[in-house]
Homo-oligomer: A and B are copies of this chain.
Amino acid sequence: MAENTRILFKSRPTGWVDASHFEIAKGPVAEPASNEVLIRNIFMSLDPYMRGRMREQKSYTPGFELGQVLQAGAVGEVIVSNDASLAVGDLVEGRLGWETYSVAKATNVNKVDGNVGSLSHYLGVLGMPSMTAWVGLRNIGQPKPGETVYVSAASGAVGQVAGQIAKMQGCHVAGSAGSDAKVAYIRDELGFDTAFNYQTVASLGDALAQACPKGIDVYFENVGGAMLDAVLLKVNPYARIVACGMISQYNLEKPEGVKNLGTIVGNKVKMQGFIVSDHMDLKAEFMAEMSGWLATGKVKYREDITQGIENAPSAFIGMLKGKNFGKKIVRIAAE
């Protein structure tokens, strides 16, 4: 059998992640024990929250362990099964490793239907990032028709879906992204009402005022920092801030200070964090709804696929700098 190529967590970053924090290791493929399966990984997911798992301090998911293989959502094919529930050839997704072959308990992976579009969809538009957008709007944002919804990192894995759902709900939807191409994509392809390049506008406040002339009712927060500060000056009474992530802060040794929190009191704003894995009771409902939207073209989804497990570290580093255009995926092997 082929060897297993694995990306290990070599050292803990304090600021920006670089290549020195990873190590590529090659070795034998492990043998699955009873009730386990061996999976040939095909796609893996790179997500901003993983930066949090590189910290020593507690986060909502356990930290990555130094010297161990990094973890990621992945989809692959069962090639050895020691569990009656899964057969060789089954396609599964689960929290697996940055590696070409993973051993997993059969109960820790989910069978997926290989006939619904690309297998990579299970890591994005039919997976955790998309469900994050869906749950965040459903439970916290709760946009009403006619309200203004603003999405940062709007061409990203979560933002794309958040904006399209809000649009279907009859909202005025504004988005921002970090390149003119991304801005054109969310406006022209995804149907956002308006969008701007946060990297090149002279003033975030002015850009928000222009994009959201009636103020902001729902902010789908993916970036934090200066953007959040600017949004806080544009919130309407009873605005909801869906605190999904704050990627602008993840690589800073000292986070930026947010100065305008006083408007939360005056405008009776609700800002609430959430983690999609708390809401797995909604997964079937999400899958049914999103599969329908995807099949009918009501939701589009762009992926940014890097080829080869060896390139996963540079793909991750690039994603943290906003270099990806769409959901970041690594192709590990052919179907």
Residues in chain A within 8 A of chain B (CB atoms): 52, 59-60, 224, 228, 237, 243-246, 249-250, 254-262, 264-275, 278
Cα A275 to Cα B255 with chains together (Å): 30
CB distance from A133 to the nearest CB of B (A): 14
| Known A224-B262, A246-B265, A262-B224; contact A272-B270, beta-carbon cutoff 8 A | yes
| Known A256-B259, A260-B255, A261-B258; contact A273-B267, beta-carbon cutoff 8 A | yes
Cα A264 to Cα B245 with chains together (Å): 9
Contact between B245 and A265, CB atoms less than 8 A apart: yes
Contact between A246 and B261, CB atoms less than 8 A apart: yes
Contact between B268 and A273, CB atoms less than 8 A apart: yes
- Point out the residues of chain B lying under 8 angstroms from A274, CB to CB: 265, 268
CB distance from A144 to the nearest CB of B (A): 18
Nearest B residue (CB) for A221:
B265
Contact between A273 and B278, CB atoms less than 8 A apart: no
Nearest B residue (CB) for A265:
B273
Cα A224 to Cα B263 with chains together (Å): 12
CB distance from A2 to the nearest CB of B (A): 38
Residue in B52, B249, B262, B270 whose CB lies within 8 Å of A246: B262
CB distance from A141 to the nearest CB of B (A): 13
Contact between B273 and A272, CB atoms less than 8 A apart: no
Between A260, A272, A275, the greatest number of chain B beta carbons within 10 A of the residue's beta carbon is seen for A272
16 more contacts with CB within 8 A, not counting A246-B265, A271-B271, are A52-B266, A60-B266, A243-B265, A245-B265, A255-B261, A255-B262, A256-B259, A258-B259, A265-B274, A265-B275, A266-B273, A266-B275, A267-B273, A268-B272, A268-B273, A268-B278
| Known A270-B270, A272-B270, A272-B271; contact A265-B278, beta-carbon cutoff 8 A | no
Nearest B residue (CB) for A270:
B272
What are 21 contact pairs spanning A and B, CB under 8 A? A52-B266, A60-B268, A224-B261, A243-B261, A250-B262, A255-B260, A255-B261, A256-B259, A258-B261, A264-B273, A265-B273, A266-B273, A266-B275, A267-B273, A268-B273, A268-B274, A270-B270, A270-B272, A271-B271, A271-B272, A272-B272
Cα A266 to Cα B254 with chains together (Å): 17
Between A255, A260, A265, the greatest number of chain B beta carbons within 10 A of the residue's beta carbon is seen for A265
CB distance from A252 to the nearest CB of B (A): 9
CB distance from A227 to the nearest CB of B (A): 12
Cα A275 to Cα B47 with chains together (Å): 38
- Point out the residues of chain B lying under 8 angstroms from A268, CB to CB: 60, 272-275, 278
- Point out the residues of chain B lying under 8 angstroms from A265, CB to CB: 60, 243-246, 273-275
- Point out the residues of chain B lying under 8 angstroms from A257, CB to CB: 256-259
Residue in B237, B262, B272, B278 whose CB lies within 8 Å of A264: B272
